[in-house]
Structure 1
Amino acid sequence: MATTVRRTVLTLPAAPVGPPNPLPALRPLDEMHAIDERTRAELPREMARQIGYEPLRTLLPVRVLDGYGRDRAAADLDAIVIENDHLRATVLPGLGGRIHSLHHKPTDRELLYRNPVFQPADFALNGAWYSGGIEWNIGATGHTTLSCAPLHAAVVPAPDGGEMVRLWEWERLRDLPFQVDLWLPADSAFLHVGVRIRNPHEKPAPVYWWSNIAVEEHATTRVLAPADEAWHFGYERSLRRVPVPEYRGADRTYPLRSEYPADYFYEVPPEARKWIASLDAAGQGLVQTSTDTLRGRKLFLWGSGRGGRRWQQWLTEPDTPGYAEIQAGLARTQLEHVRLDGGEEFSWLESYGPLAADPGTVHGEDWGAARAEVEARLADALPREAVDAAYEAWLPCADAEPGTRLARGSGWGALEVQRGGHKLPGTPFDESTLGEEQAPWRELLTSGVLPEPRRVAPPGPSLVAPHWRDMLETAPADPLTEYHLGVAQWHAGDLAQAVRSWERGLALAPSRWPLLRCLAVADQEGGNGQRAADRYLEAFDDLCQERRDDGEAWTAALAALAREAIDALLAADRPADARSVWSRLRPAVRQRGRFRLAEARLLLAEGRPREARAVFDEGFEVADLREGAEILNEVWAATTDDPLPDAYEYRMRPQG
């Protein structure tokens, strides 16, 4: 059959993502992939330089997504299917453009780990993320902020005269447009993926990219890559060079032979072909390969310990198979960012398809022979020269203008194109995509004035790039402008000036709580916990008085502010004030797992450990538990000496 592209609907049990957190993300990133300066000094020079190259201070201008729960109901998800005689790829443009499924038709085998549910969890840089399939991680170390966001999608001409699917968006952490072209030639058993990241600005930009592939994991699953060494990163936040495959008495290329979650960034020689494969007991599975620009390869494993097993259940359903992740990136590790000069671009081609190799050799004790067998079978199925030729064939199509539109992303790219006058052939950011969130910023751009909102509501998102900060500095200094200006100054590292802007705005603000909350965060970062607690309490009082209804936006604001206020008040040893905040929440909010945990902490602070233990015994689920968080076992240990129940076991590293 000729390759076809069609729309469809995928119905899955799904938990809604929920509204964005309206509080600007002022705090430093809580990113697990971090090392100290002493460790960095011992690394190879290029790696150390790229690890230190412009790490993010905050998530701004992106908002945190933490409004989801654990209640799932059947939901219809828009999908795009790309299909030929060999493969059927199912893409979710509304959820980061993720490839949900890659089905090999001749053998009736699914090549990916296909999650049977959509369940957000706190793994993305900005919160909501979900497991399974192939995701496109761009921005900064971690899972992309676009994990649960819509991308633009359209049909474009393919190099072989057929059709391919283009996904594109404006990545806001680094202010860079990117595109992902999915091309399945009519006679091919490999899906080609052309990726381009452009820097339309005059100054260089730090770039991060990792294609993350979830594959089913069994006791006999083995991950192979062309390397004899790897950089091991554990959740103890250590990075060290280790041998492959044996390390500390176990073959770590079998994901279930490790106890705790870990990353293995393979040291692939520069001249070697770039590939990674996950094969089962029969020597069958998925292989990913690429042109040489995509140099890094990685295995992430959950391990066989209690915490890793519990996380896997949490991200899907208890009876589904586990999964590991095989990944490919621009750098050797995910701690690094790569410089992209102004006016330049990165582009490469990836290929995904089935692979069958001799199982005895693949699972034999000779690692070199196992690698050679996989590489030979890959050369038979898709020679290295064929990948390079496909890349050269795709490049002239990268600028082709999209035809039939399949999905719509955000309006932020259109706003940036209007501001900067960028010419981006192949990835149009149409004015028609501008929406309510962009409207006040478009007004600032055209008139020099940030308009007052038409109704009382929590403030909309802030923009923080230098050009927007400059516009805010010259706009009339009303309270809302001072609020957004302070956020932009904070993001730029000008903390003292941010505080001055917020204090000026506070003097005349009809809505005081957004500014008070920003000042409270500044107090916390400055080490003034008691003043931060005072300001949080005042902010919460003001929000309770200002709240207009029980709508989604106000409920999200109240829950987000209450969570921060309770933490600050407990840290300041003021449990009575923390209790007053908790008690003013609506019963439905207090029943959320995050606030059940807060109740247990309150009870402990009030000297009532038995009642705190009872909260755990009744059972609760913290829907937005952060990757690597140990708060559950810490609070449990303060209530009892009993072992932590499996339901609360999420530790990703050894105790101590």
Structure 2
Amino acid sequence: MSSLTFAKWKLPGADLHGESSLPPIAGMINVQQQTKTMLDEDDGLFVGYGFVGSPFPYRLQDMYDRELKDTEMLTAVLENDHLKAVFIPSLGGRLWSLIDKDKGRELTFSNPVFRPGNLAFRNAWFSGGVEWNCGVVGHHPYTCSPLFTAKLTADDGTPVLRMYEFERIRRAVYQMDFFLPDQSKLLFCRMRIVNPNTEVVPMYWWSNIAVPEIKDGRIVMSTNETYTNRGGMISKTTVPVSNGIDITYPVNNPHAIDFFWKVSDQARKYVCQLNGEGYGLIQTSTSRLKGRKLFVWGQGPGGEKWQEFLSADGTGGKYAEIQAGLARTQYECLPMPPKTAWEWMEAYGAMNAKGSNVHGDWEIAKREVEEKLNHMISEQDLESLLVKTKETIALKPAEELIVTGSGWGALENLRREA
């Protein structure tokens, strides 16, 4: 049976101590606001579009400390016979943990503590799990804030976890519906962004998935080319080998770097990290979510220090991030038409592939993963599920509100009616 439960959970955590009392008018530095490029005329990236210079009207979350003490948080847990997904509504809806019950293994890097650092749009950010970033470039405004959280039931009886909020800079609404059908080996995440405005707005979305850094882990996705930033210039390089290094193995990359895999419009949209045995987490989506990325901290002392700084003392906290986004890179937003809804479906689960194929020739590795993924769920079936659940899930009203969000959306509705 599939279930949705809410329960208090204790873990070692630092205190956010609320928000700054001062408006953030001094501007900010964002490493992704890079506009120098060496690209081809058919790449078609919206480089520089949608950047903002300040978190205003949000206030900074820069009052936190580093002292770890017993902290109680509300969790929302979706569970069936194969998977257990644990969400934290008060922390931007973060998917904190995804457990493969068949093997008793955690699929994400699930941080043993909550310990923020200065890495997000409003300063406070923490590592681990799956983060849902909407609106503006960077770790989103609600990453350390509560989302409206509710529950409902799909037409077929499947319990649904809903989280939503109003993004104040874009003046847009995003809604996330999570469900785990009986006997499903995939967690489904049905996403919806609505631009209710009468003008085009720049829109950004990236799902950031932390996976443990492992020596034999390989990232597989459908591409032979990637965008990256080297020497202050956005350019392209080859996959899997670039400058003599197989960059699809996170541990091979000596320095912190982003790789935005150039996945063609016709290719299957997925990304995974698989170990030497061919086992690990895979994420796939419908076609709207066309971007895929790898971020690594590198193997130097700076990257290692940051990862340890964000986790429990002495644990290392080492991870890599595989990501999925609306645009091809994070140097851009996409123009979202007025009075429009953008929707897509994501799916997360455990892949069991043949290790020798995954870690052999690149074309064989891609073919192995895609064949196994098609057995889990075909591209057409995922697209059909997106269409089917618009009426049976996305447009259905919630049955019970569990957590209250910011309330700025209600104020915006009153403003528009005035």
TM-score interval, smaller chain: over 0.9
Counterpart for residue 24 of structure 1: 23
Secondary structure of the 1:185 match is coil
User: Which residue, out of 173, 190, 200, partners 1:177?
Assistant: 173
Deviations 1:609-654 (A, max 9, x none): xxxxxxxxxxxxxxxxxxxxxxxxxxxxxxxxxxxxxxxxxxxxxx
Q: C-alpha distance in 1, partners of 2:42/2:23? A: 36
Counterpart for residue 98 of structure 2: 102
User: Which residue, out of 350, 354, 360, partners 1:358?
Assistant: 354
Q: C-alpha distance in 1, partners of 2:232/2:44? A: 16
Contact kept, 8 Å, 1:277 with 1:326, in 2: the verdict is yes
Secondary structure of the 1:74 match is strand
Secondary structure of the 1:282 match is coil
Residue 269 (structure 1) aligned with residue 268 (structure 2): no
Q: Which structure has more strand as a fraction of its residues? A: 2
Q: C-alpha distance in 1, partners of 2:58/2:317? A: 33
Alignment of 1:402-413 (within 5 A): 402-413=398-409
Secondary structure of the 1:350 match is strand
Secondary structure of the 2:307 match is helix
Alignment of 1:102-181 (within 5 A): 102-181=98-177
Deviations 1:375-426 (A, max 9, x none): 11111112212211211121112111111222111111110112124xxxxx
Counterpart for residue 77 of structure 1: 73
Displacement, 1:336? 1.0
Q: C-alpha distance in 2, partners of 1:256/1:198? A: 39
Secondary structure of the 1:319 match is coil
Displacement, 1:291? 0.4
Contact kept, 8 Å, 1:47 with 1:332, in 2: the verdict is no
Q: C-alpha distance in 2, partners of 1:382/1:316? A: 35
Deviations 1:23-60 (A, max 9, x none): 21113331001224xx3474546644x22323213211
Q: C-alpha distance in 2, partners of 1:104/1:384? A: 22
Secondary structure of the 1:386 match is helix
Alignment of 1:313-332 (within 5 A): 313-317=308-312, 318-332=314-328
Secondary structure of the 2:254 match is coil
- Match for 2:95: what amino acid? I
Contact kept, 8 Å, 1:89 with 1:103, in 2: the verdict is yes
Counterpart for residue 3 of structure 1: 2
Secondary structure of the 1:8 match is strand
Counterpart for residue 247 of structure 2: 252
Counterpart for residue 191 of structure 2: 195
Alignment of 1:440-459 (within 5 A): none
Counterpart for residue 209 of structure 2: 213
Counterpart for residue 221 of structure 2: 225
Q: C-alpha distance in 1, partners of 2:236/2:188? A: 32
Deviations 1:53-98 (A, max 9, x none): 2321321101111101111101001111111111111010000001
Counterpart for residue 375 of structure 1: 370
Contact kept, 8 Å, 2:134 with 2:203, in 1: the verdict is yes
Contact kept, 8 Å, 1:32 with 1:237, in 2: the verdict is no
Contact kept, 8 Å, 1:160 with 1:185, in 2: the verdict is no
Deviations 1:538-560 (A, max 9, x none): xxxxxxxxxxxxxxxxxxxxxxx
Q: C-alpha distance in 2, partners of 1:208/1:43? A: 23
Counterpart for residue 279 of structure 1: 274
Displacement, 1:278? 0.6
Deviations 1:102-121 (A, max 9, x none): 11111101111100000011
Q: C-alpha distance in 1, partners of 2:403/2:323? A: 26
Alignment of 1:394-543 (within 5 A): 394-396=389-391, 397-421=393-417
Contact kept, 8 Å, 2:202 with 2:335, in 1: the verdict is yes
Greater CA radius of gyration, 1 or 2?
Answer: 1
Question: In the superposition, relative to structure 1, how do residues 8 and 43 fare at CA in structure 2: closer, same or farther (>3 Å)?
Answer: farther
Counterpart for residue 13 of structure 2: 14
Secondary structure of the 1:302 match is strand
For these two proteins, the number of residue pairs brought into alignment is 416
User: Which residue, out of 67, 85, 94, partners 1:89?
Assistant: 85
- Match for 2:104: what amino acid? D
Structure 2 residue runs of 5 or longer lacking an equivalent are: none
Deviations 1:219-260 (A, max 9, x none): 1111111000000125x5431101001111111111111111
Question: In the superposition, relative to structure 1, how do residues 46 and 256 fare at CA in structure 2: closer, same or farther (>3 Å)?
Answer: closer
Which protein has greater RCO, CA pairs closer than 8 Å, 6+ apart?
2
Q: C-alpha distance in 2, partners of 1:12/1:98? A: 15
Question: Percent identity at matched positions?
Answer: 37
Q: Which structure has more helix as a fraction of its residues? A: 1
Secondary structure of the 1:264 match is strand
- In the superposition, the TM-score normalised over structure 1's length comes to 0.62
Displacement, 1:320? 4.5
Contact kept, 8 Å, 1:34 with 1:237, in 2: the verdict is no
- Match for 1:12: what amino acid? L
- Match for 1:292: what amino acid? S
Counterpart for residue 622 of structure 1: none
Contact kept, 8 Å, 2:203 with 2:333, in 1: the verdict is yes
